[in-house]
Structure 1
Amino acid sequence: MTEIDPKTQTELEAAVYRRLVAHLRARTDVQNIDMMNLAGFCRNCLSNWLKDAADAKGLELTKDAARAAVYGMPFSEWKAKHQTEASAEQRAAFAKAAAEPH
């Protein structure tokens, strides 16, 4: 494997992040609870991680701005347009996963 310098590594990682966010913006049919149940993270996690990274750099980024950066719109708008009510099965799977040690 070719050795990748740190700057290029960061650029590649940033490109992957942008592609992931674009993919999630396009897949509005995929609910956050399903992502949490299957993968252990969701769009809100990504926005929290973005805010954490900004905080670590001493940059001001609000929770709402971080969510808008991930969702491509204010979270309240995305939620009204795309979020469905979680089923009993989805809620049970979420509760079970949350109770398991990580």
Structure 2
Amino acid sequence: MFSKQIIGLFALVLTTNALAFVDPTRPLTGGQLVESAGSVQPQDELVLQSILKTSREGSLKAIISGQLVEKGMTVLGYRVVDIEGKRVTLQSAENTRELSLFADSVVKYK
């Protein structure tokens, strides 16, 4: 009887440890939607998530729709033309798009 309790407790510990290794923040694979900044976006939509300045070269890089890109790289069919402090300019064969980190209008709350 005592050995059954030990085996049951051991099985419970093994199951708990296996579940602890699953990353709850890992993106879903094979899905059509990606969660970004509190809203759900289609994966083929361009979303500027961050702009980073590298310490060695001092160049700017951006995270667009989950991809780390720099000037000259391509993301979702657009070539990165320019990266500034708050904006990224993209160009495709059809048009030019500008992505911004923040909205141009600022709302002040009292």
Tell me the TM-score normalized by structure 1: 0.29
Considering Cα pairs closer than 8 Å and 6+ residues apart, tell me whether 1 or 2 has the greater RCO.
1
Bigger Rg, which one: 2
Tell me the TM-score normalized by structure 2: 0.28
Q: Which has the higher helix share?
A: 1
Q: Which has the higher strand share?
A: 2
